[in-house]
Structure 1
Amino acid sequence: MVNRYFPAVWSVLSGDALAEQVLSQYAFEVTPTCDLHTTSVNDTYHVRAGSSSYYLRVYVHGWRELHDIEAEVELLNHLHAHELPVAYPIATRDGGYVLPVHAYEGIRYAVLFSAAGGEIREENDHRSYMYGRLTGQIHVCADRIPRMSKRLHIDHGHLLDSPLRSVAPFLAHRPKDCDYLSDISRSLKARVDELLLKESPQYGICHGDLHWTNVHFQDDDAPVLFDFDCFGYGWRAYDLSVFGWHLGGWAWSKAEKANRTRRWNLFVRGYEEHRTLSGSEHEALKVFAPIRQIWRMGLHTAGSERWGRNWAKDEYFDQEIKYIKEWIDHYRVL
């Protein structure tokens, strides 16, 4: 039987309907409001109940399996129980955390999170150091949680193989660039394998997305980390590399390079107050930044059916590949 409705990739859920059908399952003292906050990899709604704020994440259909989301909830509850400053999941009146939503395109899942205190603040030296300290605390604390087998691994397949498959159709008219990305990925994989083992504590639970817009800072620069959607098992050096990769954006001026190096070093110094990196891990930090860039290209291209392709012009790929080459050359990665 032919469906009388046209197929959809993604639907925008009504905030009012979410308040009525999903938020009604929580023990709010006053009736909450629910407004769409952002649409990105997932959809986030700002929930207000009196003077209290929360954030409802509605995972996009097909992005995460139920067991992936349950593992994220388990990790955050573990970190929160150990009094680490993270945005943590809120339980329903029945004690559950993950609620199914029957959207037009299929089942999606919703989780309500506490609001992260503070706000996104400008990059500076002290905040870089404090962010690193919190990351070290989280890695050490995460090593105490029983192994969650049903969670993704942030390994070569996730960071390079799958992204390259997504990127390849977009570079069909640029075979030299496609070959370059394939060749450089093989070299980067080999370098990582020379430096690191897939064993604890070098390899373990990672946040997966430690850039500047996933952390809030209080007035005293105390950080609060949120958005663990990309968490999984991976090399800890990769987790730390994301911070350095994101610092300073695309800037390569002498001053910006100096800022990046100084703040990245401060981030690592803060981290090592809780877990000391090996010499090989220090070396691997800069190897993972171009890997992160390739992963991001894969994220963008894989999501193009939902986000559109207007951005996927030659200028975009010129910029991305140029960044990879400049990073590898400047930091002598290979």
Structure 2
Amino acid sequence: MLKFSENENRSDMIISGEMLGEDLLLDALDKIYSLSSPIKCKFLRGSFNDHYSIDANGSKFILRIYKNKKRYIRNITDIRFELDFLEYLHSNGVSVAFPIRSIKNETLNTVHCKNELRYIALFDHAEGSHIGNINPSDAMFFGKLVASLHKKADEFKSEHSRIKIDQGYLINEPLETLEKYIGTLNLSDISFFKTRANIMYEQINQLPTTNEAFGLIHGDLNPSNVHYSPVHGFKIFDFDHCAYGWRIHDLAVIRLCFDNIVYKAVLNGYQSVRPLSSIEEKSIDMYSDVLLLRKSKDILDMLEVNKNSKEEKTKVVIKTIETLRILNNKPFS
């Protein structure tokens, strides 16, 4: 049975990850939020968190159930930081899916299920659909939105904490994770990548850390986290990976997700609002390669959280080793 719980200031995030049933959530939603009846709840997807679509008498929302302890979410203050950040961006005119406050005026709320505390947040619905092959004109508007997000983020203050992205996060952690799996699965080692990794480390170390170049970022600006509609335009959501990092991190994710024409249009739109320094612009391709390495850890961590099979993890590791070989053979920039 699912029970409504008062908001609790707990620092631990040790959660089993069991998916909560749609019917069980309806009672909690009715008690926690001021939503119009009838309320409908439908499971959408699960990864590091579970997400549900909520229809409250025609008004749409997204419910997130936090379900695991992860590297970039150390405690509850990290989650509160994200929710505060989203409220701040929304209040400053940046198009993001913002958290809905509860009857008790909280953005982060809790429920109990089978003697386990679960943290939940309800978000504004992003109209439209995932961005796919967008035209250059729309891509420029998207670039302007990302730049506006970065500029507004410079003024954000919070009593809560959030991680900083550094070389350890980008390079050391993924390699350590891969080596652990390689040893367990008895696969070929990745010692061939050591020199390349060291060079990547030094290149990242040369990036500027000024307030303009290093600050709050979305952290995962892939097309599945952005919706577009002709009426409402672009809206960014899922700030679960937001962090303090290099601003080109968000641009490098976009670089990996779109063809060169769209990427260049995004970049032009971005620079019309926030110009990049020469080293920032030159480093985006290199940073994209680094993100291909980091992606492997994120995928493997997600497979662990969702208790995927050994075979599925093996496929990811083998594919990552192939990617590292390709990166290792690229000319140095």
Calculate the TM-score normalised by the size of structure 2: 0.86
**Mapped pair 1:125 → 2:132:** no
Name the amino acid aligned to 1:176.
Answer: D
Q: Could you tell me how far apart the structure 1 residues matched to 2:329 and 2:133 are?
A: 25
Shift of 1:321: 3.6
Q: Provide structure 1 residue ranges, at least 5 long, that are not aligned to the other structure.
A: 1-6, 248-259
Contact 1:11 1:103 in 2 (8 A): no
Which residue of the other structure, out of 245, 249, 252, is the alignment partner of 1:234? 245
Q: Which residue in 2 is equivalent to 1:304?
A: 303
Which residue of the other structure, out of 206, 214, 220, is the alignment partner of 1:209? 220
Q: Could you tell me how far apart the structure 2 residues matched to 1:328 and 1:223 are?
A: 36
Which residue of the other structure, out of 164, 170, 186, is the alignment partner of 2:198? 186
Shift of 1:293: 1.2
Contact 1:11 1:105 in 2 (8 A): no
Cα distance change on mapping 1:162 and 1:149 into 2, 3 Å: farther
Q: Could you tell me how far apart the structure 1 residues matched to 2:55 and 2:24 are?
A: 15
Cα distance change on mapping 1:23 and 1:270 into 2, 3 Å: farther
User: What value does the CA root-mean-square deviation take over the aligned residues?
Assistant: 2.3
Q: Provide structure 2 residue ranges, at least 5 long, that are not aligned to the other structure.
A: 1-13
Q: Which residue in 2 is equivalent to 1:277?
A: 276
Deviations 1:26-52 (A, max 9, x none): 111224222211111110011110111
**Mapped pair 1:47 → 2:58:** no
Q: Which residue in 2 is equivalent to 1:56?
A: 63
Shift of 1:222: 2.1
Contact 1:25 1:92 in 2 (8 A): yes
Q: Which residue in 2 is equivalent to 1:322?
A: 322
Cα distance change on mapping 1:324 and 1:133 into 2, 3 Å: farther
Deviations 1:53-72 (A, max 9, x none): 10000111323321111001
**Partner of 2:311: helix, strand, or coil?**
coil
Shift of 1:149: 5.8
**Partner of 1:154: helix, strand, or coil?**
coil
Q: Percent of pairs identical after alignment?
A: 23
Alignment of 1:27-176 (within 5 A): 27-63=34-70, 64=73, 65-104=75-114, 106-126=116-136, 127-146=138-157, 150-172=161-183, 173-176=186-189
Contact 1:241 1:285 in 2 (8 A): yes
Name the amino acid aligned to 1:146.
Answer: K
Contact 2:167 2:204 in 1 (8 A): no
Cα distance change on mapping 1:147 and 1:90 into 2, 3 Å: closer
Shift of 1:220: 5.5
Q: Could you tell me how far apart the structure 1 residues matched to 2:16 and 2:32 are?
A: 27
Deviations 1:216-256 (A, max 9, x none): 11126821111110000000011210111122xxxxxxxxx
Calculate the TM-score normalised by the size of structure 1: 0.86
Deviates more, 1:139-148 or 1:76-85: 139-148
Q: Which residue in 1 is equivalent to 2:285?
A: 286
Contact 1:151 1:232 in 2 (8 A): yes
Name the amino acid aligned to 1:319.
Answer: K
**Partner of 1:53: helix, strand, or coil?**
strand
Name the amino acid aligned to 2:162.
Answer: R
Q: Could you tell me how far apart the structure 2 residues matched to 1:288 and 1:104 are?
A: 44
Name the amino acid aligned to 1:120.
Answer: H
Cα distance change on mapping 1:83 and 1:147 into 2, 3 Å: same
Cα distance change on mapping 1:110 and 1:8 into 2, 3 Å: closer
Contact 2:218 2:243 in 1 (8 A): yes
Q: Could you tell me how far apart the structure 2 residues matched to 1:33 and 1:25 are?
A: 15
Cα distance change on mapping 1:236 and 1:73 into 2, 3 Å: same
Q: Which residue in 1 is equivalent to 2:11?
A: none
